[in-house]
Structure 1
């Protein structure tokens, strides 16, 4: 029984999990009947809800599944890649599988 976790330790871990999940969003279909998979009625309006740590709170309403996905999964900003990351155009480099030209063999 010595390996059991104390109540205080468990409560601390629980609060950390709750704090990490606060602010997450979900889309709930606003149709009649039971909630089903999101793909079942893509044209139905959706309520956007945010988790407060205690309960789901309504944030807004969107027209359909496509609009809900745009709210839930916004596009990430494109990062600028350094120029040295760019590969040379095809054919300018030799892969390991390519045989060297006889002139290149003599130069080495």
Structure 2
């Protein structure tokens, strides 16, 4: 997805969450994304100094993108992001996913 696609998705998410007066959606989206309303406002104006993490979060939370996981097949991008962030564990599935994510091309690793 391009930056413009993600920005359109963000604006759509805000519009969907507005009240009947057309307000409040940005505050709700900021909470969902785990950021302040000010940060979201700066991002929307194009003045946020480092927009990449915000774009990635929009992609995770609101994007409907499906990617190919070499370990388990086609999965939503949000699931991929959750597996990348998971710490190692003794559960066999999650231990396998932890090892796979470390070298996955979707995670910048080398297969």
The normalised TM-score by structure 1 is: 0.24
> Normalised by the size of structure 2, how large is the TM-score?
0.24
Greater RCO between the two (CA within 8 Å, min separation 6)? 1
Quick check: which one's strand share is greater?
1
